[in-house]
Structure 1
Amino acid sequence: MKIAYTMAQGRGDTDLLLFAAAQKLAARGYRTCGTVQINTECDTHPCDMDVQILPDGPVLRISQSLGREAKGCRLDPSVLEKAVGLVAARLAGQVDVLIVNKFGKHEADGRGFRSVIAEAIERDLPVLVGVNALNLGAFEAFAGPQAERLEPSVEDIVGWLADASKSGREVA
């Protein structure tokens, strides 16, 4: 099993890291599959959350506007499941790595990208997941002790994939 996760400290930093890593991997010829999150800051609420389906779209808005005073989760579960379906369909093709922007509450509860991650592991594909502290325990319970924690650095991610990849690509 080839599964790794990373966690960056600042708000939105894991999203930026995985986006940059996906771009670097694609530039090096890796066939990426999965999602990266793109946040757009707003004046009226924390941010709009979009995910790009790798490698080349579409981009889906996964957040919903609940109003200025809303405190609850803004994730739109129906759009998340649409993203899961698109990624699952692409996973059936020629793929070198699955990248999942976040192992979140839905995955912790057995939904979301959990089945796609399991399928990639079953196919012996390297899997890279963004995790936050809130869901780390659930991720560790799901992935087991084989999951490798990577430093939040593009170079570490690219190096890990070069080591984990069956394709034997050299990392420059």
Structure 2
Amino acid sequence: MTASTPASSTVLPIAAILYTPTDNVEAVLVEAAARLGERGVRLGGVIQHDIGGALNDPCAMELEDLSSGTRFSLSQELGRGSEACRLDPDALARASMIVRNGIDHGAELVIFNKFGAQEAAGAGLRAEMGIAALAGTPLLTAVGHRFLAEWMEFTGGESSLLAPSVDSVLAWWNALRHPA
């Protein structure tokens, strides 16, 4: 299955950027959020910033609260040699509250950093994605090809799949807001 553009299919208020490991999907989401924010779109949700290079730690990550611009660590320090998951459960709980707060306070679009391993397994921010959909708030996320089957099951196949580009995201948003 390949990503579709809004012009070629029905535009749905649930969209996922379909990406491969070689795509820099975090940069696409950061730029798309910035461009939508410049247009006056009230954003909610969280996007990921990989900060490992700056810290000499390839696994270091931060989340940005799109409603305030505040950043906080998503990864926890587990000590030298640890091979356990570095996802900080407290940070995930904070992200959950940020998303719910954005929906409650009228975000026009909620962006989730990704539908990844946690969400595919039924955890992470999966419940918040469902809350956004049930509230009628459009949502945007990114999903790797390896989790496409889980994403399709989660959405019942009812989502727009986008190419990994800012232009694709902006075209989806424009088509959603201004149907032909």
Q: In 1, Cα distance between the equivalents of 2:22 and 2:85?
A: 16
Does the alignment pair 1:87 with 2:99? yes
Does the alignment pair 1:65 with 2:77? yes
**Residues 88-112 of structure 1: per-residue CA shift (max 9 Å, x gap):** 0121112111110011222222222
Does the alignment pair 1:132 with 2:147? no
Q: Which runs of 4 or more aligned residues in structure 1 lie more than 4 Å from their structure 2 counterparts after TM superposition? A: none
Structure 1 pair 11/67, CA: closer, same or farther in 2 (3 Å)?
farther
Structure 1 pair 31/49, CA: closer, same or farther in 2 (3 Å)?
same
Contact 1:6 1:149 survives alignment (8 Å): yes
Q: Secondary structure at the match of 2:33?
A: helix
Show the counterpart of 2:5: none
Name structure 2 gaps, 5 residues minimum: 1-11
Does the alignment pair 1:112 with 2:124? yes
Q: In 2, Cα distance between the equivalents of 1:81 and 1:34?
A: 13
Q: In terms of mean alpha carbon deviation, does 34-43 or 47-56 score higher?
A: 34-43
TM-score if structure 2 supplies the norm length?
A: 0.83
Percent of aligned pairs sharing the same letter: 31
Does the alignment pair 1:98 with 2:110? yes
Q: How many residues align?
A: 167
**1:155 shift after superposition:** 1.1
**1:55 shift after superposition:** 2.5
Q: Give the root-mean-square deviation of aligned CA atoms.
A: 2.1
Q: In 2, Cα distance between the equivalents of 1:133 and 1:68?
A: 32
Show the counterpart of 1:36: 47
Q: In 2, Cα distance between the equivalents of 1:49 and 1:7?
A: 21
TM-score if structure 1 supplies the norm length?
A: 0.86
Does the alignment pair 1:143 with 2:127? no
Q: In 1, Cα distance between the equivalents of 2:24 and 2:83?
A: 22
Q: In 1, Cα distance between the equivalents of 2:127 and 2:52?
A: 31
Q: In terms of mean alpha carbon deviation, does 67-76 or 120-129 score higher?
A: 67-76
Name structure 1 gaps, 5 residues minimum: none
